[in-house]
Amino acid sequence: MQSKISRNAPCPCGSGKKYKLCCMPQDESAAPTFQITGPRPVAYYRSSQEFCQVILRSDIGIQEAFFITERGLTDPETRRGVNSLIQTLRTSGYPPPGEDRPLNRADRSPTDPVLWSILRNWEILFEGPSPHSSDDLQGCLRSILESIKVWSTPAKDSQGYLYHLIGMMKSMKVTVDRLSLDGEPIEPEERPEDRLIELAEDWLAEGMPRYVTPFHSEAERLLDRHKASPVVHVCQYLIGRTHEQRTTDLLRPLLSRAYGQLGVGFG
């Protein structure tokens, strides 16, 4: 999955910053300018090129888990899966290649899709034993936990982080689809936010002025029906796609009303 990254593209480490303002200086540096001894701070993993691919592959695994569960996965379940993998690494270290994964042998489906999908993507990335210590892999996962904390909504079925992740990954040209055994895409079951996502995609593809009003109208319609969570999810998807302050400012009134319905303030 290695490719040249545009200076203005979102950084693959997932920090939300542009590549030129995040990891690019380190990538272009001939040698590291410092060394960290002892436990590394969580933020280090998001800002270090050394771990960008580990975090990217972990993010892809989470996105795959979202589609494995037919978009039923929630942010709290994602958090539990990541924490479960941290505990596994803490007690057992990184599983060696070929070790049985936590599959339900009756139907071959993952019993913990988040843990299973991240491990599968790590195997693809490492192609053998991990070049990173168990402590560093745990640090990468803790940085993901920080992102979940930032982007989750107060709802128990929150998917705010997951939709933000999908938007961010799509901005990096990384997409995940469910396929049939024949290799054909499987269309997901229609959900309340699907029409809003269509308008969001039009907004991004065609430019803001023409599609801001219909997007806001559809979002207001959902809010009138007290469907705050889908509105938050799609707004955070848009923020993940663009990483632009202007987008956040245009979405602020909708997010303020949606978070109000969820019983919390929006800063």
In this prediction, residue 29 carries a pLDDT of 53
- Is pLDDT above 80 for 46? no
Distance CA(210)–CA(202), nearest Å, equals 9
Mean pLDDT over 198-202 rounds to 83
- Is pLDDT above 70 for 110? no
To the nearest 10°, the Cα dihedral for 163, 167, 170, 176? 0
Q: In 10 A of CB 75, how many CB atoms? A: 24
- Is pLDDT above 60 for 73? yes
Question: Among the listed ranges 90-104, 112-126, 169-183, 203-217, which one has the minimum average pLDDT value?
Answer: 90-104
Q: Highest mean pLDDT range out of 155-164, 166-175, 197-206?
A: 155-164
Distance CA(190)–CA(105), nearest Å, equals 30
- Is pLDDT above 90 for 144? yes
- Is pLDDT above 50 for 123? yes
- Is pLDDT above 80 for 162? yes
Distance CA(61)–CA(115), nearest Å, equals 8
Distance CA(183)–CA(236), nearest Å, equals 30
Distance CA(166)–CA(176), nearest Å, equals 9
Distance CA(208)–CA(69), nearest Å, equals 33
Top-confidence residue, 245 or 24: 245
What is the pLDDT confidence band of residue 101, given thresholds at 50, 70 and 90?
A: very low
In this prediction, residue 39 carries a pLDDT of 63
In this prediction, residue 85 carries a pLDDT of 92
Top-confidence residue, 176 or 100: 176
With beta carbons less than 8 A apart as the criterion, state whether 82 and 167 touch: no
In this prediction, residue 76 carries a pLDDT of 94
3 state SS for the chain? CCCCCCCCCECCCCCCCEHHHCCHHHHHCCCCCCCCCCCCCHHHHHHCHHHHHHHHHHHHHHHHHHHHCCCCCCHHHHHHHHHHHHHHHHHHCCCCCCCCCCEECCCCEECCHHHHHHHHHHHHHHCCCCCCCHHHHHHHHHHHHHHHHHHCCCCCCCCHHHHHHHHHHHHCCCCCCCECCCCCECCCCCCCCHHHHHHHHHHHHHCHHHHHHHHHHHHHHHHHCCCHHHHHHHHHHHHHHHCCHHHHHHHHHHHHHHHHHCCCCCC
In this prediction, residue 107 carries a pLDDT of 36
With beta carbons less than 8 A apart as the criterion, state whether 230 and 193 touch: yes
To the nearest 10°, the Cα dihedral for 189, 194, 195, 200? -150
Mean pLDDT over 136-153 rounds to 92
In this prediction, residue 23 carries a pLDDT of 75
What is the pLDDT confidence band of residue 65, given thresholds at 50, 70 and 90?
A: very high
The predicted-structure confidence for 207-225, as pLDDT tens digits, reads as follows: 666 778 888 999 999 999 9
With beta carbons less than 8 A apart as the criterion, state whether 75 and 161 touch: yes
Top-confidence residue, 27 or 82: 82
